[in-house]
Every structure is written in structure tokens, then in C-alpha cells.
Structure 1
Amino acid sequence: MSIAASPIRYPDASSRQVMTRRAWWLVALNFLIPGSPQVLAGNRRLGRFGLGATLVLWALALVAIALFLFWRTALLTVLSQGWTLWIIAAGLVFYAVLWVVLTFDTLRLVRIVKTAPSARGWIAGLTTLVMVFLSGGAAYGAYFAFTTSGFLNSVFVAGPSEPPIDGKYNFLLLGGDAGPDRDGLRPDSITVVSVDAETGQAVTIGLPRNMVDVPFNEDSPLAAVYPEGYGAIDGCEVDVCMLNSIYTEVELKSPDMYPDAVSQGSEPGIEAMRDAAEGITGLTIQYYVLIDMQGFLELIDALGGVTINVPEDVPIHADETFTTVAEWIPAGEQHLDGYHALWYARSRHGTSDYDRMARQRQIQEAVLAQFNPANVLSKFQGIAAAGSQVVKTDVPQGMLGYLVDLAGKTKELPIVDVELVPENDVDPEDPDYEYIRQLVQQAVYPPTAEPTEGE
């Protein structure tokens, strides 16, 4: 039967049964193939435009599915670019408007007054639901893409991807604690994370903040000032010459040592800590991530809290002197909000720095484990708002797709921890840095996985 003789375009308007059946067909087609009701029963020019837009969207979806299945890194790289997300947001706004227009036009074509009275409410209600589902979903997708773009642009720097060094990507993670009793920020948690570029195997090296005589590589500007190690000869420019004081000294006293730090998305103090971490571990560190510990609680709250196993009661202090206990976090499995998680990580009463390091890594690993697509998507607005305030990094946007894919592999493998503590014959107050570098090399490049040549 030709379209010209089709009851869809030329129905028997006197038959309520025919008009009702036709109405249901048009509503279903508008949901399944937007634009097709107009081609069959209405303005064919509008229908061809809507149908063409629908086919383009389907083609893009098929390409995205194929990339996800066979070239996931490329898809994630594209989707992690701010400009790409702006284009996606604009496209989704276009589809949201288009589907509103097509749905209202479909409702006009239905000629609802000609349908059976008992079906009119159902037809109108379902048509409205279709419009809300299609247009509302597209509008929310546009908002999500726009918010993600703002988050990425506020946290990550522009730049291309970089190859691994000796098969590894090495990151410096700093937990900043700018308490009221401190002159500027001082890193309270210092960790180097080395990730295998192929397998995703991660090795974490916790650096005690009270390490002394920290060495620097020859190309570091600090090596000329402290040739025998930080503060080893005539002291330093701040009160205490420990590892976490290096940030404070350089940031407040001698930022000119690193004149290009800010323009490259970093800070002089961070670059000084990078040089210190390289001198201690013997690794080349490509990227840093600075997490504000006070803001960290906002991120945990945005995630809905974090679940950990508390080995023993941990005190929460009533003041910044860390001497008076206000309450206790009891032993056992606990679901902590941001406030309690932060205190769990930084509590000092009746404990050692090594205990605090272990608790901090426990919180970090728990947060990473609970960062999953469903959790992030459901709470994305809060996470993005908190993350832009919490995180500072020089990881380029061009690396995000690859690193997200690599992180998926990392989550499937046990993390190897290198503990630079007295139990492993490391004394932060009298460290043997050659021995420390041997421990790091054995963990990062175990005998069964010899290092590859630098790329």
C-alpha cells in the first residue's frame, strides 16, 4: 500500500477505533524513531529533519559503543576534554528542544478529540511522559556535560599526553593541612604512587613527614643550598628542618627558586616537594596531586561517606593542640562522614606519625575503592563542586582518558605498600637513603618485571 493511501496519513476520521489505533502508533513511533510520525502523517520537511537528526544520534551512539568495546582509551580521552563536553552539551540542548517540538507536533497529529474518550487521557499522558523522558534526559545530559567541563577545566591543566618513564607513571600525592597554628600550608600526608603503564599495578610509598637530611638530585635548585641534605649543615629557613617543612620554606621564603612553577600549573612549594620525593625514592615523578585535607571532608560528604574497618578506638580532639579528647571513633567497621574521616586521618592523641600514615592511606584507599561510576554519577554535582575546591594537580586533560582506563586495571589488583617505618629498618630521624631507594626499586621493579627502556 502506498503512503498516499495509508490510514496513518489519510485515516477514516469518522471511526474512533481507527483514530485510536492510529494515535497509539504515532505515539510509539515518536518514542522509538522521533521524526517518523511527521514523515508518515504530518509535515514531511519537519519529519525529514527530525528523522535525520535521530539517525545521526544513533550513528554517534554506535560509534561510541564500538569505541568503548574496542578502543576505550580513545573514547575516554575525547570525553575528558572540556571543549568536547561543551559540544556535547550544545548538541544535547538541540535534541532536547527538537524532541519537545516533535512531541507537541505528534500530539497535534494524533487529533485526540477523534479518538475513543476512554483512551484520550492515556494517549495524552503517555505522550507527555515520552517528552519528559526524551527532552528531560537530553537536558540533564547537557547539564551533566556542562558541569563536567567546568570541573575538568578548574582542576586539570591543558596539555597533551606524555609517555611513561621506564614503563611507569609516578605521582606525588600531598595532603595539605593549613591549620591555624601553622605559617602557611604544610603537607601532612606525603605519598608517592608508581603505576605500571601496562598492567595498572600500583605501588605506594608513604614518606614520613618527619624525615630529615632529605637529599636532592643535582639538577634541583635546592641541591645548591643544601648539598648534604635539607638542613644537614647549618639548619634551614624555618623552625623545623623536616620533609614537610620544605614546602613551607620554599613557598614562603624562596619561591624564586622555581620561577616557572605557577605558569605550569604548580607552585614553588610543590615543585620543591617533588624534588625532595625524587631524591628520597630515586624515581622520576611526572605529576603531582595536592589534596586540601580540610576540603577532603567535603569530598567524602559528597560521596555519601566512606566505610572503613577501624582497628582500635581513635580519638577526636577538642582543640588544635591535639591533647583534649572530645569523642572517640570506636573500633570495628564504621561508616564515616567527612568530619569523622578527617579526624580519623589526622588524630594525634596517644599515637605516632606512622599510625597516622597508615590511617591516611586507609582512608585514601577506601575513597578510591568507593569511587565507582554509579556512585559518581548519582552524586556528581556535589563531587564536582567539592573536587574543584579540594584538588590541585598538573595532570593534563590529554592524559585523563588513558589514566581513567588505567585506574580501572589498578582497582582490580592489590596495591603494594612500601612502608618507610622503623619496622622496615627505616629511621626517619637517621635515614639511610641508599637503603630506602633499594626498597623502592625492589617494589616498583620486582625481579619478575624488569624495567623497560625509557620511552
Structure 2
Amino acid sequence: MTDVRASVLGGSYERPADASARIQFRRGLTLTVMTVLMPGSAQLVTGNRTVGRIAVRIWLGVLALGGLLLLISMTSRRGMFALATNTTLLHLGAWLLIAGAAAWVALLVDAWRLAQPRRMERNHRLWMTGLNSALCFAMAGSMLFAAHLINTSSSVIGTVFASDSVSGPSDGRYNVLLLGGDSGVGRNGVRPDSLTVASIDHDTGRTVLIGLPRNLEDVPFPRGSVMDTEFPDGFACADACYLNAINTWANDHADKFPADYGDQPGIRVTMEAIEQITGLKINYYALVNMHGFSKLINAVGGVTMNVRQRTAIGGIGSPIRGYIEPGEQQLTGSQALWYARSRVENNDFSRMGRQKCVMTAMLQQLNPKSVLLNAEKIADSSKALLTTDIPQQDLGIFMDLALKAKNEKISSVSLVPPVIYTGNPDYKKVRRLVSKAIDKAEGKSPTKPKSGLLAATLSVPKIDADKDPMKANQSADLSAAC
């Protein structure tokens, strides 16, 4: 009769062995889920309670720390960024993740042991073994990968943002000199052919991009400086003494400068010259390597641009090998680089406008999700991309300002003809133009710009916005101009 199943009160008879197997399987699942949700809880219920208590207390501490970080992120984004860019904390976090991954796997394996898999039916045992194995690989793998990303980020921060000199905002603004470094055959040293000052409001992130032509002549220097002594009438000589050649000249004559300028004084001297040109205190510089810039764009999957003008690929020391056609399209790193630097069939001033459009597109299209998904590629490109004196201490500030700038209009003023003639620049006029552009960005001017341009301030020629990117050189809203 024991092997006969009969209906009892509308139900069915279940053999004790089947009921025991089902309960054992359910117990195993419960212990596994408990370990996933609260490591150590399975050991507290059935196992080594000392281990369980230690694990649960650590887990509660982790939750409390997570809650504290969430509170900081909600009340002080800059404070959160400061913590996230502290290399000491990053190294500590990476090691804790590695240790946590090992401990969590050990607790999962122990929970599987406590479930007594040998007493389960074969199918149940296989399911439990597969589930625990998958959880061990998934949880440990994700934590170890997170530790790897943290170590990679820490390495980039320690390498790129190694300066320890902090410069505070001037008149409520950070002024950062952005240089596009270019070197090649037949060139003496690295000449920054792209020179832009990003003037950023310390509170709002509202940004004005000030474009300086590479071929600006008679560049002034601080009174009494080495360069002022060498060139009392401005940077002028018989052989192309332009703004972008100051870096090379200073590095070639490093012995003329005080010891605190270092053995490569070119960037610092260039910053001093641009302070004289614009009337702004330059806080920091960032020198972007062209090849690294291309790698960065590839790392985030390209950049979408509204190409306003047919632009040649190649042609600088080599034949033209293609074109970037007008229209909205996704540019690869190489295409974006050529769009930003080509001047074969147009001119330097068109190139300056295109460079501002590329900068604006990158700022608007880079977001935390794309950065996170491509963190390793971005980190790899960053070491080849950037040389800067922005210190680690200020990195959190600039990360916060970058997010704020995404929601603000970016305006521009460029020292290009017919506003400023590069061969005979009026530097008093330059400083007035820069001051007025910043005042407009801060809402201090009662005069509203016409048609989105700084036309009230600058005598800007009429430009066909659909065909010529030069419009971006003088704009109160680069998004609209680009």
C-alpha cells in the first residue's frame, strides 16, 4: 500500500522521501538567497555564528557607508567628486573590493555546504551547484572588474593630475588654457596650433571660449620678465614669431629663465603671454595631444557633428585622401581630428570655429553612462591625450563644473579678422572684447545679442550659417552656431 497514491480530502499523498528532498532543496535556496542579500546571515542561522556575526557587521557597515556616500552626493556633488578622485581612497577601495569578493565567494560556498547537497536529489543538487557557481562568478567577477577600473582610474589621476600647485578662481572664474599640441617632420619642437582659453564661472559653470589664432603677432609679455627683456616690443622676429612659437622658443632657450621655470618653460611662458593678451589670470593649462584626442573619441564611440563645410582629410604635408561631407553625421576619432584641424581648402579662422564646435559636441555628448561603459578605453586614451597642471585636489571641482556646463549656453569670442587683425593686433581692444564677452555671459550687460551673436560687442561680418563654421568664432550660444 505504501507505493499506492490515493486521493485524500481532494489532495494527494506524497512520499516522505519526496517531501524531504523538496524541503532540503528549498532550504538550500533560502541559505543562498540569504547570503546574497546579507552575507553571513546563513551562518548565523545554521553554521559558524562567529563568522556570521563578523560578516553581518561588516555588511551593515558597508550599507552605512553607502548611505553616507549617497547623502554626500545629494548634498555636495563636489565633495563626492573629491572623494572619487582621491587616489589614496581609490587604492583602499580597490583592495577592499578584492577582499570582499573573496569573502563573499567563501560565504556562498559555505552556504552551499550548509545546505547539505549530498542529501538532495540529483537534479536538485545539480541546480544548486550551478546556481552557486554562477553567483560566485557573477559577484566576484563584477567586484574584481570594479577594482580593476578603480585601479585604472587611480593610475590615470596619479599620472595626469600629478601637480600639487592649487590656483583659486579669479573674479569668480577659472580660466584654463586649452592647447592642441602638434609636432611633425620639419618642426622644431611641439607647437600648440590650437589655443583657447575656457573661462568658467566658479558657481554656474557658464563658459566662454576665447579663441586665439596661432599666428597672432607682436605678442606682449609681463613687464620685466625674461621675454619682455628679449622682446621689448612684443614677440617679433624675422622668422614667423607667432603666438604658437613661444613654447618652442622658450624651451630652446631654457637657460635664460629662472630655475623655478623648470627645464621646459615654454608652457608657462605661453600662459604669461596669454594673460597679457586677454587680461585674465590663467589658472591652469591642459595640453591635448592630437593622437590622444582621436583615441578618446573612438573610445566613446565617435561624436555627432553638424558638418557645415566640406572639409579635407589630409593635405597637411601629404595629399588629400578624402573629404568629410556636409550634414549631420557620426565622426570617428580620425575624422573628428581632421575636421578640427584641417585648413587646406579653407583657413585658420574656419578651423578655429570647427574646433569650438568639436569641443562643444564632446562636452554635451559625454555623459556618466558613456564614461562608465568605456572607462578603460578612456583611461587608456587619457594618458596619451592630456598633459596638465590641474592638481588632483581641484579635479572634483572641474568635474562638477563640466556637468553644470552641459546645461548652460557656451559662448565664444575669437581674435580673428575683421574684429582683430592678427598681423597688427590691438591688444587693448582684445582685452575689452574679452571683458565684454564675459560680462554678457554673466548677465551683466543690458544689451541683448542680436541673432545669437555677440554682434553688439563685435563687428562681425555676415556669415552664411549653413555653410561657414566661422560663425562659431563669435557666438553667444555655440550649440546653435554649430
TM over 0.5: yes
Which moves more between the two structures, 136-145 or 292-301?
292-301
1:434 maps to 428
> Residues 19-418 of structure 1 correspond to what in structure 2 (within 5 A)?
19-159=24-164, 161-218=166-223, 220-231=225-236, 235=237, 239-254=239-254, 256-257=256-257, 259-262=259-262, 267-317=264-314, 320-321=316-317, 324-418=319-413
1:9 maps to none
* Distance in 2 (alpha carbons) for counterparts of 1:278 and 1:126: 64
Decide whether aligned partners of structure 1 residues 390 and 447 sit closer, same or farther in structure 2, where only a CA change above 3 A counts: closer
- Percent identity of the aligned residues? 37
Which moves more between the two structures, 409-418 or 14-23?
14-23
- Conserved in 2, the CA contact under 8 Å of 1:177 and 1:294? no
Q: CA RMSD for the aligned pairs?
A: 2.1
* CA displacement 1:254-301 (0-9 Å, x = unmatched): 3542532449xxx41101110111111000001000011133212222
Decide whether aligned partners of structure 1 residues 161 and 133 sit closer, same or farther in structure 2, where only a CA change above 3 A counts: farther
Which moves more between the two structures, 441-450 or 344-353?
441-450
Decide whether aligned partners of structure 1 residues 406 and 245 sit closer, same or farther in structure 2, where only a CA change above 3 A counts: same
* Distance in 2 (alpha carbons) for counterparts of 1:74 and 1:54: 24
2:478 maps to none
3-state DSSP class of the match of 2:390?
coil
* Distance in 2 (alpha carbons) for counterparts of 1:122 and 1:164: 61
- CA drift of 1:35 comes to 0.8
- CA drift of 1:199 comes to 1.0
- CA drift of 1:372 comes to 1.3
* Distance in 1 (alpha carbons) for counterparts of 2:197 and 2:21: 74
Residue identity matched to 2:67: L
3-state DSSP class of the match of 2:62?
helix
Residue identity matched to 1:399: D
- Conserved in 1, the CA contact under 8 Å of 2:363 and 2:402? no
How many residues of Structure 1 are paired with residues of Structure 2 in the alignment? 429
3-state DSSP class of the match of 2:200?
strand
Decide whether aligned partners of structure 1 residues 181 and 345 sit closer, same or farther in structure 2, where only a CA change above 3 A counts: farther
Instruction: Pick 1 or 2: higher relative contact order, CA cutoff 8 A, min separation 6.
Output: 1
* CA displacement 1:42-92 (0-9 Å, x = unmatched): 111211221122111111111111111112211210110111110111111
State which structure, 1 or 2, has the greater radius of gyration over its C-alpha atoms. 2
* Distance in 1 (alpha carbons) for counterparts of 2:133 and 2:183: 53
Which moves more between the two structures, 58-67 or 358-367?
358-367
What runs of 5+ residues in structure 1 fail to find an aligned partner? 1-11
- CA drift of 1:368 comes to 2.2
* CA displacement 1:335-374 (0-9 Å, x = unmatched): 1212222222221222111011111222222222222111
- Conserved in 2, the CA contact under 8 Å of 1:212 and 1:241? yes
- Conserved in 2, the CA contact under 8 Å of 1:13 and 1:19? no
3-state DSSP class of the match of 1:445?
helix
* Distance in 1 (alpha carbons) for counterparts of 2:416 and 2:132: 66
2:440 maps to 446
* CA displacement 1:395-422 (0-9 Å, x = unmatched): 0100111211121111110101012111
3-state DSSP class of the match of 1:244?
helix
- CA drift of 1:161 comes to 5.0
- Conserved in 1, the CA contact under 8 Å of 2:28 and 2:128? yes
Decide whether aligned partners of structure 1 residues 135 and 393 sit closer, same or farther in structure 2, where only a CA change above 3 A counts: same
* Distance in 1 (alpha carbons) for counterparts of 2:40 and 2:339: 57
Decide whether aligned partners of structure 1 residues 215 and 83 sit closer, same or farther in structure 2, where only a CA change above 3 A counts: same
Decide whether aligned partners of structure 1 residues 78 and 347 sit closer, same or farther in structure 2, where only a CA change above 3 A counts: same
* CA displacement 1:296-321 (0-9 Å, x = unmatched): 21222222222111112111125x43
- CA drift of 1:167 comes to 0.4
TM-score for both structures, normalised by structure 2: 0.85
Residue identity matched to 1:310: V
* Distance in 1 (alpha carbons) for counterparts of 2:363 and 2:128: 47
What runs of 5+ residues in structure 2 fail to find an aligned partner? 1-16, 446-482
